[in-house]
Chain A
Amino acid sequence: MNIWERMLNIDRRWIFLSIGVVSIIPFLTKIGLPVSTTEEVEDIFTYIDSLGKENAIFISFDFDPGTQAENMPMGVAVMRHAFHNHVPVFLTAYTPLGHGMAGGALDYVTRPSTPGYYTSVDFDEWADIRNAGITDRDELEAAWEEAGNVLPDDSHGWVFEGRDFVYLGYAPLFHLVILGMTSSIETQYPSDAHDNPLSEMPILREHKSLREVDLAVTTSGSSACTAWVIYGREKIGLPVAFGVTAVSATDYYPYIQSGQIIGQMGGLRGAAEYEVLLQQNGITETTDKAFTGMDVQSADHLLIIFFIIMGNIAYFMGGFHRKKQLKGGR
């Protein structure tokens, strides 16, 4: 076996090891390569930026923990954007494990240890203000602060459960749930994940069905995202935006061209672009996890290209291109 043959039949564990090493180094060094934004992501950003407290969006965590490295930053970034603009947010999940992902994202955005967090006010905590008939977003915040509550210095703002967000979570056969929500959200979710009755929530009183919702952002690691197009977009014209893993991003370009979705965040890059847009527009001070991850991805892509080049050099130098069949490196 000559050197070229040995190179072609390299034990794949060496490849695995190189990928492992190259993936870890950028985390330690933090290069911070600049990320430019694309039209697909800018469209989502601009659309959400045009919404206000009278509108509402759904962020659906339609993925399992497996793809959370890619999907979670998308959900988090959109949630931050909505919270900043006081756009009410419904949080849902396509799978049982997605339920935990939605909760995890909310927890992350409202946890004091997260830079630029939002201070969450539980539904019960502001019951007195609600019972006094104050549900308008600005009045609510004024009344809440008048009651002696002070926003921590490092917090980006208040978010009121039932007014700014509601955590609905998972419901079985979610595609049918979407269909049901086109008529009524409350019939599909009589209470939220914390057992608060939806009927008492201002967010629901103003947005009773998907017809009264302005956008659904689905973050998905499978084809679950298409359910929002089939049952939301095609049935009632609900605007939909996708946040999908890089591996399936190419699948959904037809939806952009046909105008069925307003935009798409593809993989970690898409999430990083959204983080960059948030930072550029002063919505967050810094970028987040997706942006950091892009250094890793750059290094990995370069390594894969290096392997492809080396493979081809060995292929031609070893004269294998003259042979009919080449056995792979099993």
Chain B
Amino acid sequence: MRKDWIGIPALGILLLLASFAAAQDAVEEMTQDADPRPGEMMEDTAGVEGTQLQPAVEGVPEEPGPALDVPGAITVEDKDNDAGDQLVVCFEPPADTSGVFAYNVYRRKAGETGEVSWNLVKIIPVLGPTLFIDGYDPEYPIEPGTRYEYRVASVSLEGEEYFGEPQVAQAVPAGELYHTGKTKVLIAGGLFIFLIFYYFGKAQRGRQMYLRPIAGIEAIDEAIGRATEMGKPVLYVPGLSTISDVATIASLTILGRVAKKVAQYQTPLMVPNRDPIVYTVADEAVKQAYLEAGRPDAFDPDSVFFLTDSQFAFVAGVNGIMMREKPATNFYLGMFWAESLLLAETGSLTGAIQIAGTDAVTQLPFFITTCDYTLIGEELYAASAYLGREPKQIGAVKGQDACKGIIMAFITIAFVLSILDMVADTETLEWVRRIVTVPIVD
């Protein structure tokens, strides 16, 4: 109830903003349809952009040079795998490029008239490629479903433009419903998702699955018990990352279990947070755990708190808590960066039992050297399966293992192929690599 009052005005403002944004979008859409900003276009065309490639002739009267050869046919194709906001434009360079400094490519909506309606969308140096993707310029976006008209000018060293014939685009930009460049991702993702669901189902049907014991997880109860015996608090740091980090989510899952145990033993708990959203979720998780343990009265609203979003100020805060309150047990579970050793070493100074877990590989050595138990990488994610022993959770862990099996098989094949290639001087590995690798898309 404490902070519920914040939620009401916050929700109100959010809704207000949403409706305002929607209204603004609608107005903008109408304005765009009605007015293609002709005045601005003209100004832009003659403005800064043009001057970049035009040699400066300030103060010198321009003398028209000899007429230049003009570019030829323009072909326009719709670009694949886009949102209908890009076109592939190609033009034939003039047969004689002598005296040509660059090409200016102009675009307007088909059917528009007047010089003012042309927008300069691309300047290409004379030796540059005559094929380019139009639509990247945020000032002159391409609208899906609109037919455009192009013209290209040869630009002389003096800045004179000699226009080729305007050409209505052969293609209309249209968005695609499937990105063909992502098929490999879809296949691999689909396979891995299938495997995880397959093991979900298997576990659900009551199939017994073995999980390798993890010392760090098994020590959680013992660590809380020690704090209870000593009458000292338990400190739980759910990492320094945001809620979008899976390590944080895994940590909050474990926090729920730890809080339940702590509530049963009636041991004080302290959960400092760096991220406000993580704080909100952690607060809710601990409150719910106390409720489920049948001890809602024992829940201290100040036990879960936000410290600061600044990395090292947070460390200073937590270290201060450790030195003052001397918690008997410290949990560092979640995402950590350079602060890991600062936290764990201070904790070891106070003599606390420490259990850490992170998927930040670089920080693992620090935790391993200073903490009693460390969950390495994916062990952190598997912790909720270990603690809850729910069939689906265990199935997910098995699914992960199956996925890893596939990757291990691939690595082994690649290893063998690389040796064979070395011996037989072939390029099989490169061939396989081309099949498997995903190029930069978009």
Contact = CB atoms under 8 A, between A and B. Distances in A.
Partners in one complex: yes
Interface of A: 12, 54, 64-67, 97, 132-136, 139, 183-184, 186-187, 202, 205-206, 208-209, 211-212, 221-223, 233-237, 245, 247-248, 250-251, 328, 330
A136 B440 contact: no
B56 A222 contact: no
Nearest to A137: B52
Interface string B421-442: 0000000000000000000101
Given A250-B362, A330-B351, A208 B311 contact: no
Given A208-B138, A245-B338, A136 B312 contact: no
24 contacts: A64-B310, A65-B312, A66-B338, A132-B58, A133-B48, A134-B51, A135-B48, A136-B56, A184-B138, A186-B138, A187-B138, A205-B47, A205-B48, A206-B52, A209-B138, A211-B136, A212-B136, A221-B337, A222-B337, A223-B337, A233-B440, A236-B442, A251-B360, A251-B362
B115 interface: no
A65 B56 CA distance: 44
Given A66-B312, A251-B361, A235 B442 contact: yes
A209 B136 contact: yes
B440 A330 contact: no
A27 to B, nearest CB: 22
Nearest to A53: B52
A152 B42 CA distance: 41
Nearest to A64: B311
Contacts of A234: 440
B138 A222 contact: no
B49 interface: yes
B349 interface: yes
Nearest to A209: B138
Contacts of A132: 58
B4 interface: no
Contacts of A250: 362
A248 B366 CA distance: 12
Contact of B312 (A64, A202, A212, A330): A64
A15 B303 CA distance: 35
B139 interface: yes
A206 to B, nearest CB: 6
B288 interface: no
Interface string B354-373: 00000011100000000000
A66 B311 contact: yes
Interface in B57-99: 58
Nearest to A210: B136
Given A66-B311, A235-B442, A328 B52 contact: no
A208 B349 contact: no
Interface string B269-294: 00000000000000000000000000
Nearest to B136: A211
Given A139-B58, A247-B362, A328-B348, 12 more contacts: A64-B312, A136-B52, A183-B138, A187-B138, A205-B47, A205-B48, A211-B136, A221-B338, A223-B337, A223-B360, A248-B338, A250-B362
B22 to A, nearest CB: 18
A134 B362 contact: no
Given A208-B137, A208-B138, A328-B348, A135 B51 contact: yes
A248 B337 contact: yes
